[in-house]
Amino acid sequence: MWSVAEAKAKLSNLLKRAREGEPQIIGEKAPCVVISLDEYERLKALEDKPHLGKWLAENFCGLGEIELPPRDERRPSPFEGWTDADFGE
């Protein structure tokens, strides 16, 4: 974390670190983060991808009630008895 004064004095170092993939936090009361343009564009692209939970809520909200099985210790694990060999490891 950088103070504002320190960030001003060492701006080139701060920007170098951000370009190298290390987010830089500036300020204490209302901190801001400096990231590389590549990271910013990657995060921005994620906004355009549909969120599965939102899509399900919007498209399947009127299907009625679903009965879920109880979640207690008596409910067996569906993976009980499996080994790493079952997963090809």
Residue 34 bridge partners (DSSP): 24
pLDDT for the residue 74:
75
Burial class (CB in 10 A: 0-12, 13-18, 19+), 62: exposed
Phi, psi of 8, rounded to the nearest 5 degrees = -65, -45
What is the set of domains in the chain, with CATH numbers? 4-59 (3.40.1620)
Q: What is the pLDDT of residues 25-75, one digit of tens each?
A: 999 889 999 999 999 999 998 888 888 888 888 887 777 777 777 777 777
* Residue at 32: amino acid letter: C
